[in-house]
A and B are shown apart, each in its own frame.
Chain A
Amino acid sequence: MIPELGHFALLLSLFVALAMGILPLVGAQRNHPQWMAFARPVTALSFLLIAFSFACLTWAFYTNDFTVQYVAAHSNSQMPTMYRLSAVWGGHEGSLLLWVLMLAGWAGAVALFSRQLPDAMVARVLGVLGLVLFGLLAFVLFTSNPFERLLPGAEEGRSLNPLLQDPGLVYHPPLLYMGYVGMSVAFAFAIAALIAGQLDAAWARWSRPWTTVAWLFLTLGIALGSWWAYYELGWGGWWFWDPVENASFMPWLVATALIHSLAVTEKRGSFKNWTVLLAIAAFSLSLLGTFLVRSGVLTSVHAFATDPSRGLFILILLAIVVGSSLMLFAARAPKVSLGGAFALVSRETFLLINNVLLVVACGAVLLGTLYPLIVDAFGLGKISVGPPYFNTVFVPIMLPLLVLVAIGPVARWKHADLKVILVKLWPAAAVALLAGIALPLLAGEWQAYVALALALVGWMVAALVLQTIDRMKAGTPTASWWGMQLAHFGLAAFVVGVAMVSNYQEERDVRMTPGETVTVGGHSFKFLGVRDAAGPNYNASVGSFELTRDGKVMRMLHPEKRDYGPGSMPMTEAAIDASLARDVYVSLGEPLDADKENGAWAVRVYFKPFVDWIWGGCLLMALGGLLAASDRRYRLKVKAQAATANIANKAGAAA
C-alpha cells in the first residue's frame, strides 16, 4: 500500500510541476501578480509530494518489502540498516528519484530565500525549474519507476553490489547530486534573465551565492568520490579519468569558470553573454553527465544496468532543455550591451584568461570522454582513451592558471598597471624560486616536475600572504574575499598533494608468507598471517601486518578480503595508516596457495606522500565557497534597476 501511495504522490507531483512550469512564467510575461504569487506555494507543494514519495521508497527499504522490484534488486534483509537506507539511491531508479528530490529541494530553497528579489524574477526562476522538474519526473515515471511491484514478491532481496556497501555510498551520491542539480538554479536564473531581457549586475549578484553553494557541493561530492575510490577499490589511485568521473568533473570546471565570470558581471557589468552561456553550459553538462552514466553509451566502472530506451529519453530531454536555452540565447544575446570597457592589463583580462583556460580544459576532457564514441560512430573501430591522454593534455592547460591565481586578485579592475603588480609580487617570485630549488630536495630526489609544481605552490602561497597584507591596509575584507583566499589556498594544498603523490609514491606487489617483511618509503610491513572472520553479510579473510618505522612498532594494519556470497566479486578493503605527510596502504590480493595452512598471499603495499592534501585541498576550496556564499551583501534587498548603475559605479571602490 505504501509504495502505491509513493507512486501516486509522484504522479501528482508531475502535474504540480507542470503547473509550476507554466503559470508563473505566463504570469510574469503578462504581468498577472496572482499568477506570479502562485510560484512559491506550488513549488513547496511539489517538494512535499516528492519528499513524501521518497520517504515511501525509503520505508519500503527499511521494512524489506521485497514485493517492490527495485527493493528486491538492491537490498536484502542481511544488510546493515545504514546500507539498506542508502541502497535507496544504490540503483538507477532510486538515484533518479533522489535527483528530482534534490531539484525540488533547490527550487524550494529558492522560493524560501528569495524575499529580496522582485516577484517577476522569482516567478520566472521557479517556472524554469518547474519545467525541468516536469521533464525529469516524466523520465522517472515513464522509464524508471522505482515503485514497480514484483508479484509474487521475492523471498529475499538480491543485495547491493558490495562495492556500494560502504559509508561512501551514504554521502557521495547525495553530495554529488546536490552539486549537479544545484547547477539548475544558476541555469534557471540565467534563463529567467534572458526571458526578461534583463541581463544586469543585479541578476549576477542574485545568482552568485546559489552558484557558489552548488559548486561547493560538487567539489565535496567529487572529492569524496575520489577518496572512496582510493580506499575502497584498492588500486591506490585517486583519479582514473573514467567517463563517469569526467561527467562530474566537466560541470565542475565550467562552474568554476562561471563563479569567476559572475564576479566580473556583478562588479563591472561585463561578460554578460559569456556568463549566461556558462550557466547554461554548466547545467547542460550535468544533464549530459546523467545521460552518459545512465544510457551506457560509454563503458565505465560505474556502468550499472543500462537501457537504451532510457538513454533515448534523456537525450530527448537534453535536446529540448539545452536546445531551447541555446535558441533563446541566440535570439537575445545580440541585444545585450557589452558593459564596462577594460584595458589589456586589468583584472577583467586575467579573469577572462582564467575562463578560457577552464573552458578549454573542459573541452579537452569532453573530447577525451566522447572520443571512443566518435571513433565508433564513424565506424573506425573500438578504442579507449586513458589517463595518458588526459594527463598530457589537461595538466599543461592548468599550469598557467596557477600562475594567474596570484596575479588576478592584485590587479585592479578596468585598468591595471603591470609595474604595480610586479612591485607587489616580486617577493612571491623569489619564494617560488626558492621553493622550486629547495623543497624537492627535502622531500627526496630533485625532479623537474615536482620543482615546477612546488615553485608554483610557493608562488601562490606567498602571493596569498602578500594579497592579504595589501588588502588589510584598505580596511576589513568581506567574507566573500576571505572565501576566495581560502579556496585559492585549498588549490595550493591540492597541487602539493598531486605533485608529491604522482612523483614520489612507491608501490610494491609482493608474494608474502607469514613472518616476511617488505619495506616501502622507509616503512616496514611484517606479515603476521591471515585469519577468517564473519561480517554481518559477508565472510572475510583478515590479514595482520605490523607497521614499523626506524625499528619502532607504530601500529597493526588489518586489510580484508570480503566475500559477499555467490554471484558477487570478492571485495578488497585496504588498510590505511593516514597522516598529514603520508599514507601507507596495504591491501590483500589472492591467496597463492589456498590449500595450505599459513600459505603465501599476494600483497600490495603503497607509500603515498601527501596524498591526503588532495582531499584536504578540496575541503578547503569547499569551505572557501561556504564563506563566500555567506557574505551578507547577498542578503540585502536590491532594487533591480537602481542597483545596476549603483554597483557599476561602486565597483572600483569595492575591489
Chain B
Amino acid sequence: MNKFTLPLIAFVALVALLAVGLNLNPREVPSPLIGKPTPDFKVPQLHNPDATFSPKEMEGKVWLLNVWASWCVSCREEHPVIVEYAKKGLLPPVVGLNYKDKRDDGLRWLARFGDPYLLSAFDADGRVGIDYGVYGVPESYLIDKAGVIRFKQIGPITPAVMENKILPLVKELNQ
C-alpha cells in the first residue's frame, strides 16, 4: 500500500458509482401524486355507457388503476402480464381506464386480448388522465384502502415490476 495506489482506489469508487448509475433511470421522475389521495372523477363505464364509475366506490379496498388504450402498442406488451396475474388470482381488483379511445375499438381490443378488469372506466377526452398526470400510456396506480396512491408505474408493467414492486406492496397494504 503506497500513495500511488490512491488513483486506483479513486477509480474503483468511480466505477462502483457508475455501475449503480447504470441501473438507475435518469428520466424516471417520481410522481408527485404518491402519498396523495386519488383525484376524484366520475365517468361512464366502457361496457355500459349508462353506468358510471368513481374511485370512491373502491374505498376500503386495495386496487390497481391501469390506464390503457387500443391504440397503444406498449399496452399490448403489458396486457398479457395483467391477464395472467389476474387469472392466477394474485392481483387485487384492477380497474381499467380506457384513455382517449373509441368505445368500439376499446371493446374489440378487450374481446381480442382478454378482459382482466373488474370494469373499465371510459375517459374519451382524456380529462381524467390530466388529473392523474398521465403522460404516456400505459400507466398504473396502486391505491390503498384509504384511497391514497401508493405506487405509480410509468410504462408497461413487466413481470419483474409485478413480482418485485406491486405484489409485495399489495400484500403489505392488505395487512
Partners in one complex: yes
Across the two chains, which residue of chain B brings its CB closest to A333? Answer: B4
Across the two chains, which residue of chain A brings its CB closest to B12? Answer: A323
CB-CB under 8 A for A377 and B24, given A291-B18, A323-B15: yes
List residues of chain A with CB within 8 A of the CB of B11: 284, 322-323, 326
Looking at the assembled complex, report how far the CB atom of B152 sits from the nearest CB atom of chain A, in whole angstroms: 15
Looking at the assembled complex, report how far the CB atom of B170 sits from the nearest CB atom of chain A, in whole angstroms: 23
Of the listed stretches B26-34, B48-56, B121-129, B155-163, name the one at the interface; the rest are far from the partner chain: B26-34
B22 at the interface (CB under 8 A from A): yes
Q: How far is the CA of A330 from the CA of B30 in the complex (A)?
A: 43
Q: Judge whether A372 and B4 touch: CB under 8 Å.
A: no
List residues of chain A with CB within 8 A of the CB of B19: 315
Q: Judge whether A296 and B26 touch: CB under 8 Å.
A: yes
Could you say which of B19, B22, B29 has the most chain A C-beta atoms within 10 Å of its C-beta? Answer: B22
B7 at the interface (CB under 8 A from A): yes
Instruction: For A370, give its contact among B5, B17, B23 (CB under 8 Å).
Output: B17
Looking at the assembled complex, report how far the CB atom of B89 sits from the nearest CB atom of chain A, in whole angstroms: 33
Across the two chains, which residue of chain B brings its CB closest to A284? Answer: B11
List residues of chain B with CB within 8 A of the CB of A333: 2, 4
Instruction: For A373, give its contact among B2, B8, B17, B29 (CB under 8 Å).
Output: B17
A277 at the interface (CB under 8 A from B): yes
Could you say which of A291, A297, A308, A372 has the most chain B C-beta atoms within 10 Å of its C-beta? Answer: A297
A299 at the interface (CB under 8 A from B): yes
B20 at the interface (CB under 8 A from A): yes
Q: Judge whether A297 and B21 touch: CB under 8 Å.
A: yes
List residues of chain B with CB within 8 A of the CB of A334: 2, 4
List residues of chain B with CB within 8 A of the CB of A327: 8
Question: CB within 8 Å of B: which of A328-348?
Answer: 329-330, 333-334
CB-CB under 8 A for A374 and B26, given A326-B11, A333-B4: no
Instruction: For B15, give its contact among A277, A308, A315 (CB under 8 Å).
Output: A315
Q: Judge whether B21 and A373 touch: CB under 8 Å.
A: yes
Q: Judge whether B27 and A299 touch: CB under 8 Å.
A: yes
CB-CB under 8 A for A315 and B18, given A297-B26, A299-B26: yes
Q: Judge whether B22 and A374 touch: CB under 8 Å.
A: no
- How many A-B Cβ pairs are below 8 Å? 68
Q: How far is the CA of A319 from the CA of B13 in the complex (A)?
A: 11
List residues of chain B with CB within 8 A of the CB of A297: 18, 21-22, 24, 26
Across the two chains, which residue of chain B brings its CB closest to A327? Answer: B8
Q: Judge whether B8 and A326 touch: CB under 8 Å.
A: yes
Residues of A in contact (CB 8 Å), total 32
Looking at the assembled complex, report how far the CB atom of B122 sits from the nearest CB atom of chain A, in whole angstroms: 29
List residues of chain A with CB within 8 A of the CB of B23: 308
Q: How far is the CA of A374 from the CA of B19 in the complex (A)?
A: 11
Q: How far is the CA of A327 from the CA of B8 in the complex (A)?
A: 7
A226 at the interface (CB under 8 A from B): no
Looking at the assembled complex, report how far the CB atom of B15 sits from the nearest CB atom of chain A, in whole angstroms: 5
Q: How far is the CA of A372 from the CA of B18 in the complex (A)?
A: 12
Q: Judge whether B21 and A377 touch: CB under 8 Å.
A: yes
Across the two chains, which residue of chain B brings its CB closest to A292? Answer: B18
List residues of chain A with CB within 8 A of the CB of B8: 323, 326-327, 329-330
Q: Judge whether A319 and B15 touch: CB under 8 Å.
A: yes
Q: Judge whether A376 and B2 touch: CB under 8 Å.
A: no
Across the two chains, which residue of chain A brings its CB closest to B29? Answer: A382
Instruction: For B26, give its contact among A280, A322, A372 (CB under 8 Å).
Output: A372
Q: Judge whether B4 and A318 touch: CB under 8 Å.
A: no
Q: How far is the CA of A311 from the CA of B27 in the complex (A)?
A: 16
List residues of chain B with CB within 8 A of the CB of A296: 26
Question: CB within 8 Å of A: which of B146-166?
Answer: none
Q: How far is the CA of A343 from the CA of B61 in the complex (A)?
A: 79
Question: CB within 8 Å of B: which of A476-532?
Answer: none
Across the two chains, which residue of chain A brings its CB closest to B15? Answer: A319
Q: How far is the CA of A299 from the CA of B8 in the complex (A)?
A: 27
Looking at the assembled complex, report how far the CB atom of B80 sits from the nearest CB atom of chain A, in whole angstroms: 24
Across the two chains, which residue of chain A brings its CB closest to B28? Answer: A382
Across the two chains, which residue of chain A brings its CB closest to B10? Answer: A326
List residues of chain B with CB within 8 A of the CB of A377: 17, 20-21, 24
Q: How far is the CA of A311 from the CA of B22 in the complex (A)?
A: 7
Looking at the assembled complex, report how far the CB atom of A305 sits from the nearest CB atom of chain B, in whole angstroms: 13
Looking at the assembled complex, report how far the CB atom of A270 sits from the nearest CB atom of chain B, in whole angstroms: 16
List residues of chain B with CB within 8 A of the CB of A281: 7
Looking at the assembled complex, report how far the CB atom of B21 sits from the nearest CB atom of chain A, in whole angstroms: 4
Q: Mark B74-102, 1 if CB is under 8 A from A, else 0.
A: 00000000000000000000000000000
Q: Judge whether A330 and B4 touch: CB under 8 Å.
A: yes
Q: How far is the CA of A312 from the CA of B19 in the complex (A)?
A: 8
Looking at the assembled complex, report how far the CB atom of B135 sits from the nearest CB atom of chain A, in whole angstroms: 16
A273 at the interface (CB under 8 A from B): yes
List residues of chain A with CB within 8 A of the CB of B20: 377
Q: How far is the CA of A330 from the CA of B5 in the complex (A)?
A: 5
A295 at the interface (CB under 8 A from B): yes
A547 at the interface (CB under 8 A from B): no
CB-CB under 8 A for A308 and B22, given A319-B15, A334-B2, A374-B17: yes
Q: How far is the CA of A318 from the CA of B12 in the complex (A)?
A: 11
Across the two chains, which residue of chain B brings its CB closest to A382? Answer: B29
Q: How far is the CA of A617 from the CA of B23 in the complex (A)?
A: 41
Across the two chains, which residue of chain B brings its CB closest to A329? Answer: B4
Q: How far is the CA of A322 from the CA of B2 in the complex (A)?
A: 18
Looking at the assembled complex, report how far the CB atom of A291 sits from the nearest CB atom of chain B, in whole angstroms: 7
Across the two chains, which residue of chain B brings its CB closest to A297? Answer: B21
A-B contact pairs, 30 of them (CB 8 A): A273-B4, A281-B7, A291-B18, A297-B24, A297-B26, A299-B27, A308-B22, A315-B15, A315-B19, A319-B15, A323-B8, A323-B12, A326-B8, A327-B8, A329-B4, A330-B2, A330-B5, A330-B7, A330-B8, A333-B4, A334-B4, A370-B17, A373-B17, A373-B18, A373-B24, A374-B17, A377-B20, A377-B21, A382-B26, A382-B30
- B residues bordering A, Cβ < 8 Å? 2, 4-5, 7-8, 11-12, 15, 17-24, 26-27, 29-30
Smallest CB-CB A-B distances: 6 pairs: A326-B8, A333-B4, A297-B21, A330-B5, A377-B20, A373-B21
